[in-house]
Amino acid sequence: MSSRNSPPASRRPSPVRSAPEPAPDSLARALLLASAAVAAVQAGRSLTEVLAQQAKGELGPTRAQAQDLAYGALRRYGWGEAVLAVLLQKPLPEPQLQSLLLCALYRLESRPEQSHTVVDQAVAAAATLAKGNFRGVINGVLRSYLRQRPELLARAAGKPSGAWWHPDWWLSRLRRAYPRDWETIATAGNGQPPMTLRVNLARGSREEYQARLDAAGIAAVPLGSAALLLQKPVSVDALPGFFDGFVSVQDWGAQRAAELLDARAGQRVLDACAAPGGKTAHILERAGVDLLALDVDGLRCRRVEENLSRLGLRAAVRAADARCPDDWWDGRPFDRILADVPCSASGVVRRHPDSKWLRRETDIAQFARVQRQILEVLWPTLAVGGRLLYATCSVFPEENSQQVSAFLARHGDARRIGIDGADELQLLPGSEHDGFYYALLEKTA
Ligand SMILES: C[S@@+](CC[C@H](N)C(=O)[O-])C[C@H]1O[C@@H](n2cnc3c(N)ncnc32)[C@H](O)[C@@H]1O
């Protein structure tokens, strides 16, 4: 087929041969997807958002494999960067080539028995990037890695971020706050998170639900009053009665919130930073309260509504900034307030490994400022004798104990209610739960 405007055949440039797209179910395809996601995170986007976007076009095993590669590469990003600093003489021209190497290095570490396949598939993926000009570099870097692995591991371990897979500033803060436990906290932050269910006790007992899990071949152990810790994570589609509201996915540490708030039937409750609504739903499952759920993010408010609707629960859900009470408070005091404030999420970093690398140290002071503003505005809306539960999923004291101590120093009408025999509860991430902080305050006058 020719058109009138085409040059004569003899003068046409020879066509650029583009590399074939890797097969849809190949490791090369998964490496391409994962490296695109990691490159997007390097450019400042959140991994959850990027993966959700990719999931619209990609189904099946490649998607699961790509997610594992992206999470794995980001968990050990500091290590991968330390290794590449030795192996690459200069940065690669396309960020995705660099992230392809990070994903392939993770795969070489997690599946050493597949080393030849991993190198071949990474080269096949590189054929579709930068006109295929860097296939040789990718091949050379990965083969050098395999040859020099012991020395490279030793070099990476010489840098804190290479040894502990967290940014240096983050590690310094952990060391300062937890001189004895910082290594355990960092190690937990690098692992796979547990999957825990919250049984909706309004619909049946935990024993009944565990029997349903058993029948479905899903092994779990009970924790606390309503939690079941799964031996292995499963898709929510596999959970009996999930779509009928018999159960929710919620970390056990997060389940402490509704229990500590202890809202009673008929009370007025404010959930000031509610989305996506895990704790809102738990409060409502425990007692028939009159609940107002706020969140500044209107899109996330929809998630609260979807969660409540799945569970057959009702609350007033409002998109509003908790710091602007004129927008949401009718002047009637609340008996209970949950302030699950925005924070660094340093206690749940294994669920969001991108956050370690996206955060800057200066963000911590910024979070602390917003937390303080939210607390100051919420306090006057609490009834005398009422209780406010301050919560974060952080392990940094600036957002937790220091925030609450400063609040108590400013407010003579506030007193602490002890938790588990202590002034406050700082949960550190471990095999049974994520890192959370709770302080329970009562208004005395
Ligand atoms: C830790 S998350 C809350 C998790 C939620 N309580 C749950 O258990 O599902 C913090 C939430 O605070 C919201 N947020 C941040 N700043 C806010 C503000 N000024 N007012 C209200 N909500 C805010 C964020 O959009 C985010 O959804």
- Domains of the chain (ranges; CATH) run 27-164 (1.10.940.10), 195-250 (3.30.70.1170), 253-443 (3.40.50.150)
Cα–ligand 1 centroid distance for 272 (angstroms): 7
Q: Which atom of ligand 1 is nearest to the CA of 338?
A: 6
Cα–ligand 1 centroid distance for 340 (angstroms): 7
Question: How deeply is 117 buried, as exposed, middle or buried, from its count of CB atoms within 10 A (0-12, 13-18, 19+)?
Answer: middle
DSSP track, 41-107: HHTT--HHHHHHHHHHH--SHHHHHHHHHHHHHHHTHHHHHHHHHHH-SS--SSHHHHHHHHHHHHH
Distances (CA, A) of 339 to 273, 374, 430: 6, 8, 24
Which residue stretches of 346-445 are H helix?
Answer: 353-358, 362-378, 401-410
Q: Which of 293, 430, 414 shows the shortest CA–CA distance to 439?
A: 414
Q: Which atom of ligand 1 is nearest to the CA of 392?
A: 1
- Separation of first and last alpha carbons in the chain: 87
Ligand 1 test: best mutation among 261, 294, 296, most atoms within 8 Å of CB? 296
pLDDT of residue 103: 98
Cα distance between residue 438 and residue 392, in whole Å:
7
pLDDT of residue 18: 58
pLDDT of residue 95: 96
Q: Which of 395, 393, 399, 386 shows the shortest CA–CA distance to 440?
A: 386
8-34 pLDDT per residue, tens: 333 333 344 457 789 889 999 999 999
User: Tell me, what DSSP letter sits at residue 422?
Assistant: B
64-99 pLDDT per residue, tens: 999 999 999 999 999 999 999 999 989 999 999 999
User: Is residue 97 a contact partner of residue 139, using CB atoms and an 8 Å limit?
Assistant: no
Distances (CA, A) of 10 to 1, 2, 7, 14, 15: 15, 13, 8, 10, 13
Ligand 1 test: best mutation among 260, 273, 302, most atoms within 8 Å of CB? 273
Cα–ligand 1 centroid distance for 443 (angstroms): 23
Amino acid at 384: V
Look up residue 136 and give its two tokens: 């040789």
| Binding residue ranges | 273-279, 295, 321, 340
Q: Which residue CA neighbors atom 25 of ligand 1 most closely?
A: 297
Cα–ligand 1 centroid distance for 444 (angstroms): 27
Cα distance between residue 78 and residue 83, in whole Å:
9
Ligand 1 test: best mutation among 295, 313, 324, most atoms within 8 Å of CB? 295
Q: Which residue CA neighbors atom 19 of ligand 1 most closely?
A: 321
Q: Which residue CA neighbors atom 17 of ligand 1 most closely?
A: 296
Cα distance between residue 388 and residue 317, in whole Å:
19
pLDDT of residue 60: 73
pLDDT of residue 58: 67
Cα–ligand 1 centroid distance for 319 (angstroms): 11
Q: Which atom of ligand 1 is nearest to the CA of 279?
A: 8
Cα distance between residue 211 and residue 205, in whole Å:
10
User: Tell me, what DSSP letter sits at residue 360?
Assistant: -
Q: Which atom of ligand 1 is nearest to the CA of 391?
A: 1
Q: Is the dihedral of CA 119, 120, 124, 127 positive or negative?
A: positive
User: Is residue 95 a contact partner of residue 42, using CB atoms and an 8 Å limit?
Assistant: yes
Cα–ligand 1 centroid distance for 321 (angstroms): 9
For the chain, residues with pLDDT lower than 50 are 1-17
Active site residue 103: no
Which residues are paired to 316 by β-bridges? 292
Cα distance between residue 194 and residue 351, in whole Å:
9
Which residues are paired to 427 by β-bridges? 436
What's the Rg (C-alpha) of the chain? 25
pLDDT of residue 59: 67
Residue whose structure tokens are 């565990």:
210
Look up residue 78 and give its two tokens: 């500091």
Residues with CB under 6 A from ligand 1: 254, 273-279, 294-297, 300, 321-323, 340, 342, 374, 393
Catalytic residue of the set 103, 301, 343, 393: 393
| Binding residue ranges for S-adenosyl-L-methionine | 273-279, 295, 321, 340
Amino acid at 413: D
Which residues are paired to 339 by β-bridges? 390
